[in-house]
Structure 1
Amino acid sequence: MSATPLIPPAPRALGVAVPTPLRKLFDYRPCQPAPAGGWQPGLRVRVPLGRREVVGIVVECRDTSELDLASLKPVGACLDSEPLPADWLWLCHFTARYYQHALGDTLHQALPVLLRQGRPLEARTRERWQLTAAGRAADAASLGRARRQAELLELLRQHPRGIIGSVIGAQGFSRAQLTGLASKGLAECVDELLTASSARPGGGLLAEPALTLNREQATALAELHQGLERYHPCLLQGVTGSGKTEIYLQLIEAIVAQGRQALVLVPEIGLTPQTLSRFRRRFRAPVVALHSGLTDAERLDAWEAARAGRAPIVIGTRSAVFTPLARPGAIIVDEEHDGSFKQQDGLRYHARDLAIVRAHREGIPIVLGSATPSLESLVQARAGHYRHLRLTQRASHHGPARLELVDLRGRPRQGGLIPPVIDAIRNTLNDGGQVLVFINRRGFAPTLACHACGWLAECDRCDARMTLHRQPPQLTCHHCERQRALPEACPDCGSADLRPLGTGTERSEETLAALFPDVPVHRIDRDSTRRKDAFEQTLNEVRRGEPCLLVGTQMLAKGHHLPHVTLVVVVNADAGLYASDFRALEHSAQLLIQVAGRAGRAERPGRVMVQTLHPDDPHLRLLADSGFDALAKTLLEERRLAMLPPYRYLALLRLESAREADAIDLTGQAATALRDWLEERGLTVDCLGPVPAPMERRQNRYHVQLMLSAARRGPLHEACAFLVGWLERAPQARRGRWSLDIDPQTLS
């Protein structure tokens, strides 16, 4: 006889985390009746907050409160019969603590939108209609004058696995005709779970056989198999096109065969359809996605299926790191170096770092894959904390294309391209190849200039120039999205001689279309892919193999398989090399190697031409001659000498105000208070600033920064906690906005 589960005694107060920036819990009185399993942390509740009702999450159950128990407002309703997963709660608590963020807002951000709004956490179903045994044996003629029922009977007979109810309706059949067949015992309705319906029919886990691995791939996979039962962090560094995804697939096959789940993180939504397609072709098991392109209902379906264990494979972007798994087996972070894994506003977490923390707690392996690993991951691998696995051969048997540095100095340009590069493009197209022209600037030109007086089109709300667009014709600030009509004359001198300055994707597209009128030109940037599925449709056209030109930004540089591209042209390699941010060179080098990796991924070798005004730059030359590893070694030594990450830990306080003086004054007071506190405690934390942000004025607000640096995380986090507390108490802080960024990836 099974024992009755014990229900904990009813608490007198509940500490509830609500979606506010306040770093505290709110006390409420439990409502009646209590949930079936009793009050416990992780239950969603609807509670009053001011003049509105919000959905919060119970964090503590206690018998005391700092307030009078009788004065506590009661919980409006408990929304769950059982608490949210304990591992999910732990990850949210860790995230709030590490990134110095309010717990209520952290929990809120980590939930799907519909759960934040109070939707029940339950699986959605849909109707599938199929013939009964009697229906399969019946003759349509036996239905007599019920002609439409007879047609419906024949339609169902053509689909032995049944047809979804909405599809039947789209064929012109009514509900009455369906129920008519059901009343005669000829058809039946089965409710199926939406996620379960994505499984492919047939026996076995694989829908198509795995590919044969080369020796390097097989060695890497064998190493990964040895760590399936424990925390086993591995950095899988493979040149572009070396078959990292095939290793992921075969590792996941082993995980799912054990009845466990795998979580795969990709940096951007643009990679999700490609990855989903490949995974769904390989596996018969359900593969669900989590990204911003889904509807709220679709996101909730995927989240619930992962929590319940019905989805053995979960693929998602940054926020998918918070997806609960019933039986976690492995986490894979593809393109682990990518900056998209860092949230840049609100809760400023890094999904890669949280994935590592999560894998450690759950005792499962984690794979960090990249052709150009972050310097942080390389340091961990060299110290022996990560297993470093290398793939140096491409599946196509061609080596990665070398970077050819092409000197721009003193040469005429058309759309940013010089004659030798245009000739190379022409030769590639004549040979039946495809060409990718990479320029990391949207619009027609970076700005508009007056040739008579030198006036530049600048944003009146930001310290930035406005970008000239031709589709539609206008000036746009890409920092605040302010738009202005094109001026007919210079506002300073009245001259009509206004000229575009520099080159953007639109200008390159226009130039290439004029130079090669018989070849399709596909532009891929944020402006041209706003329509749903536009990006994937363009890539599908390119993959057909006909000669064409692609003009794109970094959207094209990340992991896309373009087998017919044999020439890559980088219009301007200098844009990010000399920025003030100490990570600029690392990120620019990664981007160059990634975009170069789009060339020569199939039978034909590739070529990469990099236009630059600084062909003798030692870092750029080292990257071109010796590759990313050699440059990374040099950068790491420079970082060590300069005491910068990954050899130091940083936090960045950003403050903004409508008045410049207020921003500077508040930051100065915060810095003084922090330095006094550090001296009292004897903590070694460097406090640098206040200094203006790289772009001081943005959206008519002034931005000032304070940087904290320390050799150890502990003192840095203590200092951050003091700073947060001081700002929350300081009355003058209410005149502006502030945010604290732990482990910032950019100083802008």
Structure 2
Amino acid sequence: MSSVLVVNQPVAAAPIPEAPGATTAGYSSRVDAGGKLPDSIPHHSPRILRVALPTPLRRLFDYRPLREPPACGWQPGLRVRVPFGRRQMVGVVVECIDSSDLPPDRLKPVEACLDATPLPEDWLWLCRFTARYYQHSLGDTLHQALPVLLRQGRPLAGRMRERWQALPPSAEAEARLARAPRQAELLAMLRQHHHGLPTQAVLAQSFSREQLLALVDKGLVERLLDPLTAAETGAGRLLAEPALPLNREQAQALATVHERLEAFHPCLLHGVTGSGKTEVYLQLIEAVVARDRQALLLVPEIGLTPQTLARFRQRFRVPVVALHSGLTDHERLDAWEAAASGRAPIIIGTRSAIFTPLARPGVIIVDEEHDGSFKQQEGLRYHARDLAVTRAKHHAIPLLLGSATPSLESLYHAERGNYRHLRLTRRASRHAPARLELIDLRGRPRQGGLIPPAIEAIRETLAAGHQVLIFINRRGFAPTLACHACGWLADCDHCDARMTLHRQPPMLACHHCDKRRPVPDACPSCGSADLRPLGSGTERTEETLAALFPKVPVHRIDRDSTRRRDAFEHMLGQVRRGEPCLLVGTQMLAKGHHLPHVTLVVVVNADGGLYASDFRALEHSAQLLIQVAGRAGRASHPGRVLVQTLHTDDPHLRMLAQQGYDTLAEQLLAERRAAALPPYRFLALLRLESPKEEAASALGGEAAAMLRHWVAAHAPDVSCLGPVPAPMERRQNRYHLQLMLSSARRSQLHAACAQLTAWLEASPEARRVRWSLDVDPQTLA
């Protein structure tokens, strides 16, 4: 999504014609992906409630309201439980109207209203925009944006904590404690704490709940219930520790954002790794919270959330809550409710946290804004960074996008003046960022993917008492298993992909469909026992390093080794002690982690994204290389980065190594402009998949023919390419095809997307093929 167009020209998709046969008996349906939904609330009691339900249908459903309306009256944003077919579903009221296409006696009644007050208005607005922009069902959008417990119909209320507080003395009541010495001791303890004590603190002192209740019965103690998220601390006590001094560039960047704290003000904070972007975030949030406003900070990975939370909670006295998929359902609801009520002034979360309601929004910050994990790749395919732009515009608040390697879209907007471009060119450690040193792999022996010059550099770094990060973006022991006699390769039966060899535990696994099978004792093709692993993964590199440096701890950090809760943080805690060690990791280690004792980074193979079919592959590979290089030399010692490659003469790789990411990004933008690719043109991708190749191909051909005929008359700027096989045509035993729409005008692209989805929903053939529409795709894979 090219965010500036959302900012300057909000576009509503063209109304979608209602598909034939869309009305279900007992319901009257309305297309929900068209124009704006009404924001006004009728003052009279409506006869019809139009409800969004969690179905893929892009329609609303009409129901009769209860005879007794809720105390707040019927209005948009109320959750209701309604019958739908043979099931009961929880939906959200979107409109309150007086008439329906069906007579009232054919409409089913609402069974229950689940809320005393409607869901937050800003949350409902964002969901409406998201459904309209991404051509998705409004009901499913609302469903995905709610915490799980609210989807199930639970009340919108966070968990409470008991607190026991002593009441003013009463001579008569205290006289009754003469024969209850333990109760007297408990009362004396509570009087020492003017704000009372929670139940756990009382029980920890060997008192019982029965003794507390006995004091309540005697009128000496009262039982209070507080939300788990405490209320904000009083003015003047915002910080638990002082802010760090800013250098000139940091202070200038902060002052620029401060200029307009009460208006939409998008800024791109473009700072080299280790330049102190987080300190700018902290001091900006301090200014926002001091104005009694809330701050939302988005981070790309769950792995970054604990360290970010720890730093923010160490700095601020006010509540800081987290929202990410690693929380329990109750924890997520607690944080969501605390943000919606305004008790939590600082909210930190991953992609889905963009849907967190804010009572008093003050600023939105997106850290590592270039990161691909901000794009949802299935279901509701939204981009959290782009929704952050839209949401900041709606609330008229500042937006700060931070990165050492900004996306080409953000650089494009900064060049055009749509974003303020703020630069941080110096590291806090005062060492210059480490340059990439390209090492030629050709003709050199390898051990676990490492060649002799890299191994020698590792040995020297460990001897100096420092740490080394070996970056290899492949899990497992080896990318595949091969027969040395006949050339057989371990292919996946369900995908056009090789199976990865794992040693812990021994197995062959497909990383695309998760199919697993035992490692064969002999070649299934010729019977030879000479089976050899090809290439290196994290497990093989770990094994090699453990043999080369037996006295040095080797920590492997990938998705397999960090499955246990808190395993990632536990490993990083060991690394941060500072003893010499080796870290073998995937891109989990490349983003945002402060590893002060790492002075050498070795990239095992930098060629993965150089010649991929996806037009964004080179951009993403360059960002990943610069990010992982940024882990070296962040403290008192300079860093060094060795990049092993088979293509040391590749012009893009040489430009990245010698002139840096900014120069390469300028070159890539020029290439995108010449090729009419984003950010200079807007894309939408229709994905088709079916167990039968002929079914997907036939539907794709019909859809393309219909669309080409339609755009010729209504949207001539839209081009339609395909259908063509996906880069991996067969995956999970299903055939995948793609149809790409492209346009220089977003409004025409959305009109074509609306027409396409309406046609697919009405097509009988489309019911036998799984399809999805991805607006602003971040990958063609």
| TM-score over 0.5 (shorter chain) | yes
Name the residue aligned to 2:113.
78
Query: Which amino acid in the other structure matches residue 560 of structure 2?
Result: D
- Give the root-mean-square deviation of aligned CA atoms: 2.0
Name the residue aligned to 2:379.
346
Greater CA deviation, 179-188 or 228-237?
Answer: 179-188
Greater CA deviation, 7-16 or 416-425?
Answer: 7-16
Aligned mates of 2:449, 2:333 — CA distance in 1: 46
> Which of 720, 730, 734 pairs up with 2:767?
734
Counterpart secondary structure, 1:42: coil
Query: Which amino acid in the other structure matches residue 358 of structure 2?
Result: L
Aligned mates of 1:160, 1:570 — CA distance in 2: 58
Name the residue aligned to 1:219.
252
Name the residue aligned to 1:294.
327
How far residue 48 of structure 1 moved from its aligned partner, in angstroms, is 0.5
Aligned positions of 1:411-450 closer than 5 A:
411-450=444-483
> Which of 552, 565, 585 pairs up with 1:519?
552
Aligned mates of 2:515, 2:550 — CA distance in 1: 34
Deviations 1:698-741 (A, max 9, x none): 11110000001111101111111111011101101111100000
> Which of 112, 118, 133 pairs up with 1:98?
133
8 Å CA contact retained: 1:85, 1:324: yes
Name the residue aligned to 1:177.
211
Counterpart secondary structure, 1:457: coil
Aligned positions of 1:479-558 closer than 5 A:
479-558=512-591
How far residue 490 of structure 1 moved from its aligned partner, in angstroms, is 0.4
8 Å CA contact retained: 1:234, 1:386: yes
> Which of 46, 50, 62 pairs up with 2:97?
62
Name the residue aligned to 2:312.
279
TM-score by length of 2: 0.92
Name the residue aligned to 1:3.
none
**CA shift in 2, pair 1:579/1:121, >3 Å:** same
How far residue 159 of structure 1 moved from its aligned partner, in angstroms, is 6.4
**CA shift in 2, pair 1:510/1:75, >3 Å:** same
2:521 paired with 1:473: no
How far residue 184 of structure 1 moved from its aligned partner, in angstroms, is 5.3
How far residue 189 of structure 1 moved from its aligned partner, in angstroms, is 3.0
How far residue 186 of structure 1 moved from its aligned partner, in angstroms, is 5.6
Name the residue aligned to 1:210.
243
TM-score by length of 1: 0.96
Aligned mates of 1:122, 1:405 — CA distance in 2: 56
Name the residue aligned to 1:360.
393
Aligned mates of 1:552, 1:680 — CA distance in 2: 53
Aligned mates of 1:294, 1:200 — CA distance in 2: 25
2:57 paired with 1:31: no
**CA shift in 2, pair 1:608/1:148, >3 Å:** farther
How far residue 191 of structure 1 moved from its aligned partner, in angstroms, is 1.6
Name the residue aligned to 1:593.
626
Aligned positions of 1:385-404 closer than 5 A:
385-404=418-437
Aligned mates of 1:191, 1:600 — CA distance in 2: 49
8 Å CA contact retained: 1:130, 1:156: yes
Query: Which amino acid in the other structure matches residue 337 of structure 2?
Result: E
Counterpart secondary structure, 1:25: strand
Aligned mates of 1:171, 1:413 — CA distance in 2: 62
Counterpart secondary structure, 1:196: coil
Counterpart secondary structure, 2:755: helix
Deviations 1:362-396 (A, max 9, x none): 10110000000000000000000000000000000
> Which of 483, 486, 494 pairs up with 1:453?
486
Aligned positions of 1:619-630 closer than 5 A:
619-630=652-663
**CA shift in 2, pair 1:30/1:188, >3 Å:** closer
2:218 paired with 1:195: no
**CA shift in 2, pair 1:204/1:674, >3 Å:** same
Higher relative contact order (CA 8 A, sep 6+): 2
Aligned mates of 1:186, 1:44 — CA distance in 2: 42
Query: Which amino acid in the other structure matches residue 718 of structure 2?
Result: V
Name the residue aligned to 2:671.
638
How far residue 686 of structure 1 moved from its aligned partner, in angstroms, is 0.9
**CA shift in 2, pair 1:513/1:132, >3 Å:** farther
Counterpart secondary structure, 2:723: strand
Name the residue aligned to 1:715.
748
Name the residue aligned to 2:780.
747
**CA shift in 2, pair 1:152/1:527, >3 Å:** farther
How far residue 326 of structure 1 moved from its aligned partner, in angstroms, is 0.8
Unpaired segments of 5 or more residues in structure 1?
1-5
> Which of 392, 395, 402 pairs up with 1:369?
402
8 Å CA contact retained: 2:48, 2:100: yes
Aligned mates of 2:641, 2:405 — CA distance in 1: 17
Aligned mates of 1:682, 1:84 — CA distance in 2: 38
How far residue 128 of structure 1 moved from its aligned partner, in angstroms, is 2.1
2:117 paired with 1:88: no
Query: Which amino acid in the other structure matches residue 100 of structure 1?
Result: Q
Aligned positions of 1:564-713 closer than 5 A:
564-713=597-746
Identity %: 75
Aligned mates of 1:469, 1:285 — CA distance in 2: 46
Counterpart secondary structure, 1:551: strand
8 Å CA contact retained: 1:447, 1:457: yes
How far residue 164 of structure 1 moved from its aligned partner, in angstroms, is 2.5
8 Å CA contact retained: 1:11, 1:62: yes
Deviations 1:534-557 (A, max 9, x none): 101111111111111111000000
How far residue 163 of structure 1 moved from its aligned partner, in angstroms, is 3.6
8 Å CA contact retained: 1:461, 1:700: yes
Counterpart secondary structure, 1:27: strand
Greater CA deviation, 79-88 or 180-189?
Answer: 180-189
How far residue 129 of structure 1 moved from its aligned partner, in angstroms, is 3.0
How far residue 174 of structure 1 moved from its aligned partner, in angstroms, is 2.8
8 Å CA contact retained: 2:717, 2:745: no
Name the residue aligned to 1:240.
273
Counterpart secondary structure, 2:59: coil
Aligned positions of 1:242-321 closer than 5 A:
242-321=275-354
Paired residue total? 739
